[in-house]
Amino acid sequence: MKCNQGNSIWVTFCFFLCGCIMFPASLQCGEYDNLVPTAAKDRNIWADVLFQYEYDDNINTDEDVKNPSDKYSVSPRITVCFPPPSSIFLASYRPAFLFYENAKENVEISHTLNLTLNHRFSSLLEAKLSSYYRRWQEPEESIIVVDEEGRILTDDLGQPRTSVTKRSNEYDQSSTSLNMDYRFAKRWGTELEYEYFYYDHKDTVIGEAIDRTSNTAGAALRYTVSFNPRQGQSYPTNILLGYRFTNQDYAVAGKDSDSNVAYAQYSRWFDPRFRLSLVGGYERRKFDGADTIIKPVQEEPYVNISFLSMLSRQFNASVSYGYRISETAEELFASRISQLISFGLNHQVSRWTSVQLNGSIDLGVFKVDQAVVEGRDDLIEEFQHDLDQNIFQLDLTIRRRFSDHLVFSAGWRFTDIDSEIPDNSYTRNRYNIGIDGLF
């Protein structure tokens, strides 16, 4: 059953902060430049506000009866930063005030808190801590997770981060991750990771299928085949052997699980413009409810292939393919097999104008032997074969900077879900324009 959130996030943060104070060292300036906007350089505190209008042609995600709506939002944010030489610490808080012209609840307020702490203890040891807390009113279907600049977020193995949740009511969500990299010889190093995830839906009926906490711990041994120095920088070729353990604790009976993943990774920079990453492994997931799931042990390959190309300073592209066991919000199934093909294009048209295009095709399968059958003796007769769920998403964003303090954006997001599970298929278009000002 689902655990309470507890204080594990803040305990981890406090221990890490104490270590940064005891072992100060310098960080690379490039990390600071990537995290801090140009207009906020050399400042410890700044604020920005985003005004956005959005038209949603299917706000209730219903294929039969579409309910279009206009959406207006105001999202101020305040950010605190402590820059190098010892560490990079960023903390931001953003409330969002939303008004829907045609929705069940017209006015909504959300809250988002983000913490980032990067520290280099010595030339051999680096650590990164990131944490966020989000209280939102209506989780929306989002296949590929992108940051505020439109870049696809990935995990440490190059898999695009995904978030598939049903549109409903208020929920709390938080995540804390700690990654450490220790180089104990010229070519040898270790990578350690830990992530805590928490999700709590306020609707008890919906929450039974999706509420959960998870703890993930992993370690990898890295060998650098070559460093490939170019123009004063290193573009290494690495081989990793790793292991990852994940415990999922759901509110609903039968979906709790322990997952073990063993994998090998090969990554290579062919030159400063091209990077290839190959990950192959094996996952074994054991569900606690032997009496509630038809097949309580699930075994699948774990695969990810990603390619990044920086064709020029103005244009870069990425493409990836992944096969894995993924979580699902469907109460009738304990898991979902996902084959995810994704791509991203980023073009800096001029100094002030950029275009980002992200897309994904998620070929999902709900296997009948992973059905949660507690209290549903009719499931075996009802589902005689595996059920497909295919998701296609396209996201286009255009940004125009009038200055380092003022940015105009316009975007379009298309979602098409074709599912054999009843009432899960729909198409949806969202169009938005916004202005973001930094003070």
What CATH number corresponds to the domain at position 215? Answer: 2.40.160
pTM value?
0.81
Give the HSE-up count for residue 307: Cα atoms under 13 Å, Cβ half-sphere.
Answer: 7
Task: Report whether 356 contacts 397 (CB < 8 A).
Answer: yes
Instruction: Name the amino acid, one letter, at 410.
Output: A
DSSP symbol at 154: B
Query: Is 229 within the bounds of a domain?
Result: yes
- Asked, for residue 106, whether it belongs to a domain, the answer is no
| The pLDDT value given to residue 383 | 60
∠ CA 23-24-25, rounded to 5°:
120
Q: Which two three-digit tokens encode residue 203?
A: 């609707």
How is residue 414 written in tokens? 């298309």
Structure tokens at 391: 């998701």
307: enclosing H helix or E strand: strand 297-309
Quick one: pLDDT at residue 218? 97
Q: Is 340 exposed, middle or buried (0-12, 13-18, 19+ CB in 10 A)?
A: buried
Burial class (CB in 10 A: 0-12, 13-18, 19+), 69: middle
Answer whether 146's CB lies under 8 Å from 153's CB: yes
Cα separation of the two ends of the chain: 46
Phi, psi of 205 (to 5 degrees): -70, -50
Contact 313, 348 (CB under 8 A): yes
Residue 316 near residue 388 (C-beta atoms within 8 A): no
| 306/84 Cα distance (integer angstroms) | 32
204, HSE (Cβ side, Cα atoms, 13 Å) = 0
Q: Cα(397)–Cα(417) distance, rounded to whole angstroms?
A: 21
Q: Which residue has the tokens 């286009």?
A: 396
What letter would DSSP give residue 292?
T
Q: Which of 259, 247, 245 is nearest to 213 (CA)?
A: 247
Domain contains 1? no
For residue 160, give every residue at least 6 positions away whose Cβ sits within 8 Å of its Cβ, in sequence order, or none: 144, 145, 152, 153, 154, 320, 322, 340, 342, 360
> The tokens of 73 are what?
């939002």
**What is the model's pLDDT at position 324?**
93
Q: Which domain holds residue 387?
A: 39-68+143-167+186-438
Give just the sign of the alpha carbon dihedral 292, 294, 298, 303. negative
The reported pLDDT for the residue numbered 169 is 65
Task: Name the amino acid, one letter, at 321.
Answer: Y
Q: Are 372 and 346 in contact (CB under 8 A)?
A: no
What's residue 40's pLDDT? 76
> How many domains are there within the chain?
1
Angle at 166 between CA 161 and CA 172, to 5 degrees: 75
Strand, helix or coil at 397?
strand
Q: Where are the alpha helices (DSSP H) in 211-290?
A: none
Q: Is residue 177 part of a domain?
A: no
Q: Which residues pair with 215 in a beta bridge?
A: 196, 247
Question: Alpha-carbon distance 119 to 399, whole Å?
Answer: 32
In a domain, 15, yes or no: no
Tokens 């009926």 -> residue:
205
Residue 289 belongs to some domain of the structure: yes
d(CA 233, CA 293): 52
Q: Measure the CA–CA gap between 419 and 426, rounded to whole angstroms.
A: 9
Task: Please report whether residue 344 resides in a domain.
Answer: yes
CA distance 370 to 246: 18
**Does residue 203 belong to any structural domain of this protein?**
yes
pLDDT of the chain along its 439 residues, tens only? 444 444 445 555 554 555 454 445 444 555 666 677 777 777 889 999 999 999 988 887 777 777 788 989 999 999 998 876 667 889 999 999 988 887 666 778 889 999 999 888 888 999 999 999 988 765 444 444 444 444 555 554 444 444 434 445 678 889 999 999 999 998 999 999 999 999 887 766 555 677 889 999 999 999 998 877 766 667 788 999 999 999 999 887 778 899 999 999 999 988 778 889 999 999 999 988 666 667 888 999 999 999 988 888 889 999 999 999 988 877 778 888 999 999 999 999 988 999 999 999 999 998 888 877 665 555 555 566 788 999 999 999 999 999 888 999 999 999 999 988 877 888 999 999 999 998 8
Q: Which residues fall within 8 angstroms of residue 398, CB to CB, at 6 or more apart?
A: 353, 354, 355, 409, 410, 411
